[in-house]
């Protein structure tokens, strides 16, 4: 226990996002911004995280659950007022309080650790994490005195021309001696352009009291990005995308074109897997070793085992086991299990079904609510008719069966092992094992049809 506490500010409305979604819940590579911030704090091994929430409190709590404790800010009167909500829980605690903004998703745990170590070593009452940027617009500027020490922070809207020219910005991340923080917090007023209680104002108050105030400059200014609008959100996405891709490449994954490959935060990928361009891997997807994920595939919340090949396909909540291949252009939907060594070919849709080992569904088929045994061949254009407009029914197909092309299997239906369905059949009755089912009109042949037909026509 080092008595290190964290307050994450996440109560702001986020009007500049122009969104129905609460600002800090906007995802960056699949994880809400506030999730990134809290995770970084936890990775920096702090004792306790308190998240300040407002209107979107329930969403934030549902997401973070017990990763954090919660403080409630009824009205959003400014960042100082947000921190004030922690007074009853924190004011009399000795130690360091780190304040983070829920909208700075790129801040890393390593940086937080360095900042806290620096702050404690300097025995400072406050340390601001700052960054040098070429475009400081919108951020609070760090104003230093002639001797180079920090004097105060001035917000964009309150800054004069000289202050606006300053390129060192406040990242919205600070360390405070906890008791000093709550002591000076009540001195902050809302006498400024926005009529808000600014947390950065405590810096000037501490300086006036001749306390030690330090600034710690970020090595990598990317981490300072504060997301107030969708433009910044896309910048954050791009930086996070590069970071995630780099992590996987370092771990032994080949990514042919990192710029067009999107891998969300919680996705896992095994060694020697190759990811081709235009691929989006989302949610809780786990991919094994020696897998090939072909170009333009989207894989969501799915499990892909070793040596699988997937090309130009969409998978959602599906499982594909070892040595199987999918696509091009197939769609595996929820609760689809593809067992080992299965071939799913072109334009196949499968939903809530299991296809057992060694089976093949080569071309243009729909399979829904089915159990297909092993070594089954499903011909081209086979449809499992699982829905009568009111209810869904199940089909089971025994192992070693052969379903001819363009057959319709009307559920509920059971085909025994080694069944054979003639091409073009509509099968509505169960087949006993090892039988042939034919369900189609008999063919009629009309001889000399062509000549008669066209001769008659020409007489008109």
Select from Ca ion, ligand UD1, none the partner in contact with residue 308, using the beta carbon and a kind-dependent cut-off of 5 to 8 Å: none
Local structure of 199: helix, strand or coil: coil
**Looking at beta carbons only, is 170 or 365 nearer to ligand UD1?**
170
Query: Which residue sits closest to Ca ion, CB atoms considered?
Result: 226
Tokens representing residue 62 in the block? 């549902």
Sorted by sequence, the CB contacts under 8 Å of residue 381 that are 6+ apart come out as 363, 364, 365, 405, 406
Select from ligand UD1, Ca ion, none the partner in contact with residue 140, using the beta carbon and a kind-dependent cut-off of 5 to 8 Å: ligand UD1
**Looking at beta carbons only, is 13 or 162 nearer to Ca ion?**
13
Nearest 5°: the CA angle 266, 271, 277 is 70
- What is the nearest approach in angstroms of Ca ion to the Cβ of residue 99? 13
User: What DSSP letter does each residue of 398-416 carry, written as one string?
Assistant: -TT-EE-TT-EEESSEEE-
- What is the nearest approach in angstroms of ligand UD1 to the Cβ of residue 106? 11
Say how many residues touch Ca ion, by CB under 5 A. Answer: 3
How far is the C-alpha of 214 from the C-alpha of 175, rounded, in Å?
Answer: 9
Question: Which residues ranging from 227 to 246 are in contact with Ca ion (CB under 5 A)?
Answer: 228
**Looking at beta carbons only, is 226 or 345 nearer to ligand UD1?**
226
Nearest 5°: the CA angle 98, 100, 106 is 125
Is there a catalytic annotation at residue 363?
A: yes
Tokens representing residue 268 in the block? 């896992």
Stretch that binds Ca ion, among 100-108, 127-135, 359-367, 437-445 (CB under 5 A): 100-108
Stretch that binds Ca ion, among 223-231, 372-380, 415-423, 425-433 (CB under 5 A): 223-231
Question: Which residues ranging from 106 to 135 are in contact with Ca ion (CB under 5 A)?
Answer: none
- What is the nearest approach in angstroms of ligand UD1 to the Cβ of residue 150? 13
Of the listed 363, 364, 400, 414, which one is catalytic?
363
- What is the nearest approach in angstroms of ligand UD1 to the Cβ of residue 52? 5
**Looking at beta carbons only, is 196 or 369 nearer to Ca ion?**
196
- What is the nearest approach in angstroms of ligand UD1 to the Cβ of residue 413? 56
- What is the nearest approach in angstroms of ligand UD1 to the Cβ of residue 145? 18
14 binds Ca ion (CB under 5 A): no
List interacting residues with ligand UD1 (CB under 6 A).
Answer: 9-12, 24, 52, 73, 76-79, 81-82, 101-104, 139-140, 153, 155, 169-172, 198-200, 226, 228
- What is the nearest approach in angstroms of ligand UD1 to the Cβ of residue 16? 8
Stretch that binds Ca ion, among 57-65, 97-105, 129-137, 196-204 (CB under 5 A): 97-105
Select from Ca ion, ligand UD1, none the partner in contact with residue 171, using the beta carbon and a kind-dependent cut-off of 5 to 8 Å: ligand UD1
| Inter-residue contact 225 to 106 (CB < 8 Å) | yes
| Inter-residue contact 244 to 233 (CB < 8 Å) | no
How far is the C-alpha of 30 from the C-alpha of 294, rounded, in Å?
Answer: 21
Tokens representing residue 195 in the block? 């009529």
| Inter-residue contact 34 to 64 (CB < 8 Å) | yes
**Looking at beta carbons only, is 16 or 114 nearer to ligand UD1?**
16
Tokens representing residue 441 in the block? 């009109």
Other CB atoms within a 10 A radius of the CB of residue 61 amount to 14
**Looking at beta carbons only, is 167 or 228 nearer to Ca ion?**
228
Report CA 159 to chain centroid distance, whole Å: 37
Among 32, 78, 226, 398, binds Ca ion (CB under 5 A): 226
Sorted by sequence, the CB contacts under 8 Å of residue 272 that are 6+ apart come out as 252, 253, 254, 289, 290
**What are the strands of the beta sheet with 354-355, ordered from one edge?**
268-269, 286-287, 303-304, 318-320, 336-338, 354-355, 370-372, 395-397, 413-415
How far is the C-alpha of 165 from the C-alpha of 151, rounded, in Å?
Answer: 16
DSSP secondary structure code for residue 140 in this structure: P
Of 343, 254, 259, 263, nearest to 291 by C-alpha is 254
Select from Ca ion, ligand UD1, none the partner in contact with residue 153, using the beta carbon and a kind-dependent cut-off of 5 to 8 Å: ligand UD1
Select from Ca ion, ligand UD1, none the partner in contact with residue 176, using the beta carbon and a kind-dependent cut-off of 5 to 8 Å: none
- What is the nearest approach in angstroms of ligand UD1 to the Cβ of residue 114? 19
**Looking at beta carbons only, is 55 or 286 nearer to ligand UD1?**
55
103 binds Ca ion (CB under 5 A): yes
Tokens representing residue 366 in the block? 């729909």
Answer whether the bond into residue 289 is a cis peptide, omega within 30°: no
Of 397, 368, 403, 399, nearest to 382 by C-alpha is 403
Query: Which residue sits closest to ligand UD1, CB atoms considered?
Result: 140
76 binds Ca ion (CB under 5 A): no
Answer whether the bond into residue 328 is a cis peptide, omega within 30°: yes
Question: Which residues ranging from 371 to 400 are in contact with Ca ion (CB under 5 A)?
Answer: none
**Looking at beta carbons only, is 77 or 360 nearer to ligand UD1?**
77
| Inter-residue contact 371 to 355 (CB < 8 Å) | no
Q: Which active-site residues does the annotation give?
A: 363
Q: Which residues bind Ca ion (CB under 5 A)?
A: 103, 226, 228
């Amino acid at each position: 226990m080092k008595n290190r506490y964290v307050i994450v500010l996440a109560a702001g409305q986020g009007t500049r996002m122009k969104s129905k979604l609460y600002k800090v819940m906007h995802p960056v590579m699949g994880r809400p911004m506030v999730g990134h911030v809290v995770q970084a704090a936890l990775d920096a091994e702090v004792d306790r995280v308190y998240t300040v929430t407002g209107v979107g409190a329930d969403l934030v709590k549902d997401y973070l659950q017990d990763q954090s404790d919660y403080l409630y800010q009824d009205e959003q009167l400014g960042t100082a007022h947000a921190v004030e909500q922690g007074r009853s829980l924190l004011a009399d605690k000795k130690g360091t309080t780190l304040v983070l903004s829920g909208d700075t998703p790129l801040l890393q745990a390593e940086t937080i650790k360095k900042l806290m170590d620096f702050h404690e070593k300097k025995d400072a009452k406050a340390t601001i994490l700052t960054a040098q940027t070429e475009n400081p617009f919108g951020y609070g500027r760090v104003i230093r005195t002639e001797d180079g020490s920090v004097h105060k922070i001035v917000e964009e809207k309150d800054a004069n021309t000289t202050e606006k020219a300053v390129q060192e910005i406040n990242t919205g991340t600070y360390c405070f001696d906890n008791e000093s923080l709550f002591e000076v917090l009540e001195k902050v007023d809302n006498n400024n352009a926005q009529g808000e209680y600014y947390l950065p104002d405590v810096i000037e108050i501490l300086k006036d009291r001749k306390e030690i105030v330090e600034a710690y400059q970020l090595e990598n200014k990317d981490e300072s990005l504060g997301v107030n609008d969708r433009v910044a959100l896309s910048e954050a996405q791009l930086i996070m995308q590069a970071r995630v891709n780099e992590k996987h490449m370092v771990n032994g994954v080949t990514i042919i074109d990192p710029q067009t490959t999107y891998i969300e935060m919680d996705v896992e990928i095994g060694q020697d897997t190759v990811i081709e361009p235009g691929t989006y891997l989302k949610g809780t997807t786990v991919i094994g070793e020696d897998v090939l994920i072909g170009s333009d595939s989207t894989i969501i919340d799915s499990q892909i085992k070793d040596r699988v090949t997937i090309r130009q396909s969409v998978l959602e909540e599906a499982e594909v086991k070892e040595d199987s291949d999918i696509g091009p252009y197939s769609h595996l939907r929820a609760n689809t299990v593809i067992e080992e060594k299965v071939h799913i070919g072109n334009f196949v849709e499968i939903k809530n079904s299991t296809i057992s080992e060694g089976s093949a569904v080569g071309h243009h088929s729909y399979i829904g609510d089915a159990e297909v045994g092993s070594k089954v061949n499903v011909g081209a254009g086979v449809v499992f008719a699982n829905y009568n407009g009111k209810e869904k029914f199940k089909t089971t197909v025994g192992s070693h069966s052969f379903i001819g092309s363009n057959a319709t299997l009307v559920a509920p239906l059971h085909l025994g092992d080694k069944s054979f369905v003639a091409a073009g059949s509509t099968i509505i009755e169960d087949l006993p094992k090892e039988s042939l089912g034919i369900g189609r009109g008999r063919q009629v042949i009309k001889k000399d049809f062509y000549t008669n037909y066209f001769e008659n026509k020409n007489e008109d």
